[in-house]
Chain A
Amino acid sequence: MHLLEVNNVTKRFGGITALKNVSLYIDSGEKIAIIGPNGSGKTTLFNVINGVYIPEDGRIIYMGRDITKLSAHERAKLGIARAFQITRPFPGLSVRENVMIGALFGTLSEKINTREALKIADEMLKLVGLYNKRDELAIKLTGPERKLLELARALAMKPKILLLDEIVAGMPPAKVDEIVDLVKNVAERENIAVGVMVEHVIRAVIRFAERVYVLDRGEIVLSGKVEDVMRNPKLREIYLGTRFKGGV
């Protein structure tokens, strides 16, 4: 049994079909990547998985349970965590409180009190290297720091599956490697399955994912092991364009 299965999911917005019969799966502790050009439906796919949108068609099975109709907060409690592409910290709260909220309402939820949540928050902040900034207001953080906060907050939820939207977009290459290693280490240690969504930084995908899905105009057009997909000429055509000459 897969940890998460997306079966023939279709999501429409008015006349636009954002996702067309999309199927994919993630196993426990596995790392997958979803790539595709701008507007291919990556964000919609994540929104359907974590409950921001309910699909018109198809089912989402998580740990053997149909969660298609569950709301976002219920899915969060079951262990589906998300870090947003456009970071969404709670700006008026401190960095620490931001991460605490992740712990308080994640899978541990009712099992922990605010004091224990604070401990988890500090742990996560040390992990991502924001511990020194714990008492800053989140609004004071720089762009890359906000991404780290986003990550810490998602990890504090102690998820079983972590969905990362373009977590490394707009970061310097050295920082990208650092974050990728960080996510990899935590995911392996805590057996978290990771779905990472990337548009531009293909390097990050190679270093990270075991399998990859390529999304184009709402459909999964390619999938498989990273090496195989990257070598597939079709990928160059649909995703990187005909002018692409370098090897990946």
Chain B
Amino acid sequence: MIKGKIIDHTSLIIMIFSYIIIWMLKTSFPEYSQMLTLLLYYIAIAQAYNIFLGMTGYVDFGYVSYFGLGLYGMALGVSYASQNNLSSSEAIILGMILSVILAGSVAGVVGGIALRLRGAFFAIATIGLSQALRYLIEGAKIWGGAEGIIIAKDLRKLFGEEGFSYATIILPDTGIFILAVATGIIMYLIRISRLGYGLLAIKEDEDAAKVFGVNTTLYKFVAFIISAVLTSLVGSMWTLKVTAIYPPESFNITFSVEFIVIVMLGGGGTVLGPLIGASIYSLSKYYLGVYLPGLQLTVFSIILLLIVLLFRQGIVGELRSFLYKHEIVRKIIR
């Protein structure tokens, strides 16, 4: 799949190498472990969202829904497994499968309908989804209703008392790391493939893309599904970390906005953008929370304003455009 000289794939190598460094830092400095796990979590989701938002330019405010469905998929899988005396690995696999099915089918329906709309209309059409899911779960009292699902007891039963920290720390952290790497590779492969060129053409000028032979409806749909499914898998790992999920947090639109900010800050459609965006975002969020508690949202709204006004292509995108005539830059910064 990946051919040609190694230098052509520098951006992929840089990306994976950075993830491994973050992972090594995390294991070597336990005091920063929480922060670095959060960073990998943001990177994985931003990279997954990048496949849709970054590549097509469509802004989905309901994106947190796929994360939330991933949370619920794992919670349902684990509680079912514990009730039916399945093994711990069966529980995790069942949870991941449920996450993918839930997110994939909802994304299929939403994408099939909303992707007919463009720009602001698409954004508006997607805004309601996360709220609808939240109130559906609370109102219809399905999946634990407003009380949420607490799986700590189930995990203790499945993994044993000694295995509990494995199930809630080592397993999800490793899972999120693997997902971050996998999502990065998938994004890279898409970027250099026919699908990627088609998506970029859609982002640049959808009508022209159609005239030049891009099946725009199909391409957008495929990107949407891949993106939603990958995010749901990150969600499924997150459930194991938090061990209890509730509708308001699982479908909080603030997270959608957060993911949008990260992708746009780093540079939509670039391979390295999510790494840069997530690093800046999660580190500054962490430290702003410590030094300027309560003001972090104000700071981020200003940052978002600056991106939209001055750096439409994000940090990586602007840098790439600025230095585009240097061949080495084109290969390294992608």
**B4 partner residues in chain A, CB cutoff 8 A:** 115
Which residues of A169-193 have CB atoms within 8 Å of chain B's CB atoms? Answer: none
* Minimum distance in angstroms from B43 CB to a CB of chain A: 23
**A84 partner residues in chain B, CB cutoff 8 A:** 208, 211
Given contacts A93-B204, A135-B324, whether A71 and B210 have CB atoms under 8 Å apart is yes
Scoring B residues 194 to 207 as 1 if CB is less than 8 Å from chain A, else 0, what string do you get? 10011011011101
Contact B197 A88 (CB under 8 A): no
Which residues of B193-238 have CB atoms within 8 Å of chain A's CB atoms? Answer: 193-194, 197-198, 200-201, 203-205, 207-216
* Minimum distance in angstroms from B93 CB to a CB of chain A: 35
Given contacts A92-B204, A137-B321, whether A114 and B212 have CB atoms under 8 Å apart is no
Cα A82 to Cα B211 with chains together (Å): 7
Contact A76 B200 (CB under 8 A): no
Number of A residues near B (Cβ < 8 Å) is 34
Any B CB within 8 A of the CB of A106: yes
Cα A90 to Cα B210 with chains together (Å): 12
Any A CB within 8 A of the CB of B325: yes
Cα A99 to Cα B252 with chains together (Å): 42
* Minimum distance in angstroms from B332 CB to a CB of chain A: 14
Any B CB within 8 A of the CB of A27: no
**B241 partner residues in chain A, CB cutoff 8 A:** none
Any B CB within 8 A of the CB of A73: yes
Nearest chain B residue, comparing its CB with the CB of A72: B210
Scoring A residues 115 to 136 as 1 if CB is less than 8 Å from chain B, else 0, what string do you get? 1000000000000000000011
**A160 partner residues in chain B, CB cutoff 8 A:** none
Nearest chain B residue, comparing its CB with the CB of A52: B211
* Minimum distance in angstroms from A80 CB to a CB of chain B: 9
**A73 partner residues in chain B, CB cutoff 8 A:** 209-216
Any A CB within 8 A of the CB of B157: no
Q: How many inter-chain residue pairs (CB < 8 Å) link A and B? A: 89
Q: Which of A90, A113, A135 contacts B200 (CB 8 A)?
A: A90
Contact A106 B213 (CB under 8 A): yes
Contact A136 B204 (CB under 8 A): no
Which residues of A69-89 have CB atoms within 8 Å of chain B's CB atoms? Answer: 71-74, 76-77, 81-82, 84, 88
Given contacts A114-B193, A135-B324, A137-B321, whether A90 and B214 have CB atoms under 8 Å apart is no
**A81 partner residues in chain B, CB cutoff 8 A:** 212
Nearest chain B residue, comparing its CB with the CB of A87: B208
Cα A104 to Cα B201 with chains together (Å): 11
Nearest chain A residue, comparing its CB with the CB of B218: A73
* Minimum distance in angstroms from A74 CB to a CB of chain B: 8
Q: Which of B207, B208, B213, B321 contacts A92 (CB 8 A)?
A: B321
Which residues of A52-80 have CB atoms within 8 Å of chain B's CB atoms? Answer: 52, 71-74, 76-77
Cα A109 to Cα B195 with chains together (Å): 12
Cα A106 to Cα B313 with chains together (Å): 28
Contact B313 A92 (CB under 8 A): yes
* Minimum distance in angstroms from B203 CB to a CB of chain A: 8
Any A CB within 8 A of the CB of B327: yes
Any A CB within 8 A of the CB of B330: yes
Any A CB within 8 A of the CB of B7: no
Q: Which of B200, B207, B215, B313 contacts A52 (CB 8 A)?
A: B207
Contact A101 B197 (CB under 8 A): yes
Q: Which of B201, B213, B313, B330 contacts A90 (CB 8 A)?
A: B201
Cα A136 to Cα B205 with chains together (Å): 18
Cα A84 to Cα B212 with chains together (Å): 11
Any A CB within 8 A of the CB of B3: yes
Cα A101 to Cα B206 with chains together (Å): 13
**A92 partner residues in chain B, CB cutoff 8 A:** 200, 203-204, 313, 321
* Minimum distance in angstroms from A229 CB to a CB of chain B: 29
**B198 partner residues in chain A, CB cutoff 8 A:** 101, 104-105
Given contacts A90-B200, A114-B197, whether A101 and B212 have CB atoms under 8 Å apart is yes
* Minimum distance in angstroms from A212 CB to a CB of chain B: 24
Cα A71 to Cα B217 with chains together (Å): 11
Contact B3 A115 (CB under 8 A): yes
Contact B207 A97 (CB under 8 A): no
* Minimum distance in angstroms from A53 CB to a CB of chain B: 12
Which residues of B263-286 have CB atoms within 8 Å of chain A's CB atoms? Answer: none
Contact A114 B211 (CB under 8 A): no
Given contacts A101-B197, A109-B213, whether A90 and B205 have CB atoms under 8 Å apart is yes
* Minimum distance in angstroms from B139 CB to a CB of chain A: 40
Nearest chain A residue, comparing its CB with the CB of B312: A92
Any B CB within 8 A of the CB of A153: yes
Cα A106 to Cα B204 with chains together (Å): 18
Given contacts A77-B213, A92-B321, whether A104 and B197 have CB atoms under 8 Å apart is yes
Any B CB within 8 A of the CB of A10: no
Interface pairs (6), CB distance under 8 Å: A88-B207, A93-B200, A93-B201, A94-B324, A94-B330, A104-B194
Given pairs A73-B215, A101-B201, A106-B213, 7 additional interface contacts (CB within 8 A): A52-B207, A71-B210, A73-B216, A74-B215, A92-B203, A92-B204, A106-B212
The 4 closest A-B pairs by CB, nearest first: A105-B213, A76-B213, A90-B204, A88-B208
**Chain A residues within 8 Å of B, Cβ to Cβ:** 50-52, 71-74, 76-77, 81-82, 84, 88, 90-94, 97, 100-102, 104-106, 109, 113-115, 135-137, 153, 157
